[in-house]
Chains A and B, each alone.
Chain A
Amino acid sequence: MSAAAASVELQSDKPRGVWRGRIFVAFLLLSLAIGFVTLGTLVIQVLLRGIAYVDPVLLTNPPSSDPNIAGARPAILATLYLGVMLIAFTVPIGVGTAIYLEEYANRDRWFNRLLELNIQNLAAVPSIVYGILGLAFLVRGLGLGRVLLAGALILTLLVLPTVIIASREAIRAVPPSIREGAYALGATKWQVTWRQVLPAAIPGIATGSILAVARAIGETAPLILIGALTFISFNPTVLGPFTALPVQIYNWTRLPNPEFKNLAAAAIILLLVIILMLNAGAIYLRNRYQKKW
């Protein structure tokens, strides 16, 4: 076979499926565009509306009926407190549960399988149900009242399944060979977990926790249900009445004065910035500690 004949065979006029390929790519781009355009429109609208109102007044003043001097200080503080309490509650409980399920539990026992099933389901429960739960058991049942702590506890419950699942993934990602190596050196189960598994899983756990907190900060329904107040002018305390940024936003949008809608937009921008910063932190952590096994 001559070289010329061979080269002719290699070329062809119309490669098969080229149009199908192109249509497919176009479809993908369309999906991407829909998502971007929708999101972009929302964000731009909010920005246009509220950017003028993002100023120190918003940050330092309490709410008032006069939109010019109204601020969201108590709400911002409450959201921040909620964030801190969330981390303090969910991380120990969530990580502890994850360690138990991954390292200590015997998968064959019915009890443990039930536990796993529960956690999977809880992650999917709508947040308003948690609100009702909180109202019934924490606010009224335990007699806590409509306080910030109750809000934190509700959000903890809301977010706990996610943290547990994320922590389990992180712990599972630690290769069994690491554990085997540690056992073979004479380490006890506790030493293996505490000195090898956990340190290796921390980046994954941290990422998962931060993302969970970022989600919880934006939750409105449960907080409203357990009685976040619409109008607070004082700084919140843990065991006192409270509001939160999402609630504040909700309230402002319901007021007749259109100025307040602009303020609401400004507060939305603030909330978005906080959430964005949290997500960025999570991504940074994940990239920094990406392990190459």
Chain B
Amino acid sequence: MVNTEAEPELVRIGSVEKLDFSERERTMPPPESREVVFEVSDLSVRYGDSTALSGVSIKVHKNFVTAFIGPSGCGKSTFIRCFNRMNDLIPTAVVEGRIEYHGQDLYGPRVDPVEVRKRIGMVFQKPNPFPKSIYDNVAFGPRVLGMTDNLDEQVEKALGQAALWDEVKDRLKANALGLSGGQQQRLCIARCLAVEPDVLLMDEPASALDPIATTRIEDLMHELKRDYSIVIVTHNMQQAARIADMTAFFSVRVEDEGKKRHGVLVEYDTTPKIFTHPSDKRTEDYVTGRFG
């Protein structure tokens, strides 16, 4: 910056503070100094004898949007489902390694998956509203978990946070299946928010939606990350580029002359770095669209 020897005092011109336009750097601390929500150490997942994912270590930070990108078959959906123990529902799935949530082992012997899922919510690729009224959809979570005080207020708050309240406030008793695709997905988000989670997991939340609905969901995530930590899987890397703070690129490692394929984590860094000068050639090949 300024040469250190005999630096004249900038008295009459005056000095300026170093300009930093990036909001990220002005108001948010860099990753290293942020609180860690998930710490994953050497995680592997297999279904019976076939390995889906191996050797993944990563730290997910609070109030960040963290994106998992990569070609199909790289295990990113399998990976995200480890965070809320949804892989427990698949009998042949075996999770090895360690995931810590705020320092606690997520797969510890006395950990209750139901408690885990209360704190770590999930939104799926295809919107899956229950065949009930809009109100009952949002109220399902609180009812099931016994949080039934002020149900009306909880429902309103959740729908408001999901940017859906104004559109449905006059027809809360209408069937949820009558909403458009984008509205249904926001309803699913509201459903998650109603149980007041800490983390939101999103498995390709916008891939079944049209571009305008997609943009609305992306803007919503931008809002939501103030209060929640968000992890998103997306096959659309432009989407990851637009909304994520940190991006993890997964790829497929082929062994045994093509007979064995499993997913590995290739690179994990801030999004600007991944999309301007990634460290690993595989990452660069993927984001430039040359391969993948």
Partners in one complex: yes
Interface set of A (CB-CB < 8 Å, partner B): 106, 175, 177-178, 180-188, 191, 195-196, 200, 291-293
Interface set of B (CB-CB < 8 Å, partner A): 84, 86, 89, 91, 114-115, 117-118, 121-122, 124, 126, 128-131, 140-141, 144-145, 177, 188, 191-192, 195
Pick the contact of B128: A178, A187, A200, A291 (CB < 8 A): A178
Contact B130 A184 (CB under 8 A): no
Contact A186 B195 (CB under 8 A): yes
Q: How far is the CA of A186 from the CA of B143 in the complex (A)?
A: 11
Please provide the 10 A-B residue pairs with the shortest distance between their CB atoms, ordered closest to farther: A177-B128, A184-B122, A186-B118, A185-B141, A186-B117, A181-B128, A187-B144, A186-B114, A191-B144, A186-B145
Number of residue pairs spanning A and B whose beta carbons lie under 8 angstroms apart: 62
Q: Which of B84, B86, B114, B145 has the most CB of A within 10 A?
A: B114
Contact A183 B128 (CB under 8 A): no
Contact A185 B128 (CB under 8 A): no
Contact A177 B126 (CB under 8 A): yes
Q: How far is the CA of A181 from the CA of B126 in the complex (A)?
A: 11
Contact A195 B140 (CB under 8 A): yes
- Shortest beta-carbon distance from B141 to chain A in Å: 4
Q: How far is the CA of A184 from the CA of B113 in the complex (A)?
A: 10
30 inter-chain pairs at a CB distance below 8 angstroms, sorted by A residue, are: A175-B128, A177-B124, A177-B126, A180-B128, A181-B128, A181-B129, A181-B130, A182-B140, A183-B89, A183-B117, A184-B84, A184-B86, A184-B121, A184-B122, A184-B124, A184-B192, A185-B117, A185-B121, A185-B144, A185-B145, A185-B191, A186-B141, A186-B195, A187-B114, A187-B140, A187-B144, A188-B114, A200-B131, A291-B131, A292-B177
Residues of the A chain whose Cβ atoms lie less than 8 Å from the Cβ of B91: 106
Contact B89 A186 (CB under 8 A): no
Excluding A200-B131, A293-B177, 4 further A-B contacts by CB distance (< 8 Å) are A180-B86, A180-B124, A181-B191, A185-B195
Q: Which of A178, A180, A185, A200 has the most CB of B within 10 A?
A: A185
Residues of the B chain whose Cβ atoms lie less than 8 Å from the Cβ of A177: 124, 126, 128
Residues of the B chain whose Cβ atoms lie less than 8 Å from the Cβ of A181: 124, 128-130, 188, 191
Residues of the B chain whose Cβ atoms lie less than 8 Å from the Cβ of A191: 144
Pick the contact of B192: A175, A185, A187 (CB < 8 A): A185
Mostly, the A contact residues are: helix
Residues of the B chain whose Cβ atoms lie less than 8 Å from the Cβ of A195: 140, 144
Q: How far is the CA of A106 from the CA of B86 in the complex (A)?
A: 18
Q: How far is the CA of A182 from the CA of B144 in the complex (A)?
A: 9
Q: Which B-chain residue is minimally distant from A108 (CB atoms)?
A: B91
Residues of the A chain whose Cβ atoms lie less than 8 Å from the Cβ of B129: 181
Pick the contact of A196: B84, B114, B117, B130 (CB < 8 A): B130
Q: Which B-chain residue is minimally distant from A181 (CB atoms)?
A: B128
Contact A185 B131 (CB under 8 A): no
Contact B124 A178 (CB under 8 A): no
Q: Which of B91, B121, B130 has the most CB of A within 10 A?
A: B130
Question: Contacts A185-B191, A185-B192, A195-B140 given: A180-B89 contact, CB under 8 Å?
Answer: yes
Residues of the A chain whose Cβ atoms lie less than 8 Å from the Cβ of B84: 184
Q: How far is the CA of A191 from the CA of B144 in the complex (A)?
A: 7
Residues of the A chain whose Cβ atoms lie less than 8 Å from the Cβ of B114: 186-188
Q: How far is the CA of A184 from the CA of B141 in the complex (A)?
A: 9
Q: How far is the CA of A106 from the CA of B91 in the complex (A)?
A: 9
- Shortest beta-carbon distance from B190 to chain A in Å: 11
Q: Which A-chain residue is minimally distant from B177 (CB atoms)?
A: A292
- Shortest beta-carbon distance from A200 to chain B in Å: 6
Q: How far is the CA of A283 from the CA of B40 in the complex (A)?
A: 54
Residues of the A chain whose Cβ atoms lie less than 8 Å from the Cβ of B188: 181
Pick the contact of B86: A183, A196, A293 (CB < 8 A): A183
Residues of the A chain whose Cβ atoms lie less than 8 Å from the Cβ of B195: 185-186
Q: How far is the CA of A200 from the CA of B132 in the complex (A)?
A: 9
Residues of the B chain whose Cβ atoms lie less than 8 Å from the Cβ of A293: 131, 177
- Shortest beta-carbon distance from A31 to chain B in Å: 38
Q: How far is the CA of A178 from the CA of B191 in the complex (A)?
A: 13
Contact A184 B144 (CB under 8 A): no
- Shortest beta-carbon distance from A259 to chain B in Å: 55
Q: How far is the CA of A196 from the CA of B117 in the complex (A)?
A: 17
Pick the contact of B130: A182, A183, A188, A292 (CB < 8 A): A182
Residues of the B chain whose Cβ atoms lie less than 8 Å from the Cβ of A182: 130, 140, 144
Q: How far is the CA of A188 from the CA of B112 in the complex (A)?
A: 10
Contact B140 A185 (CB under 8 A): yes
Residues of the A chain whose Cβ atoms lie less than 8 Å from the Cβ of B89: 180, 183
Residues of the A chain whose Cβ atoms lie less than 8 Å from the Cβ of B118: 185-186
- Shortest beta-carbon distance from B199 to chain A in Å: 12
Q: How far is the CA of A7 from the CA of B243 in the complex (A)?
A: 55
Residues of the A chain whose Cβ atoms lie less than 8 Å from the Cβ of B117: 183-186
Q: How far is the CA of A293 from the CA of B122 in the complex (A)?
A: 20
Q: How far is the CA of A188 from the CA of B91 in the complex (A)?
A: 16
Residues of the B chain whose Cβ atoms lie less than 8 Å from the Cβ of A178: 128, 130-131
Q: How far is the CA of A291 from the CA of B89 in the complex (A)?
A: 26
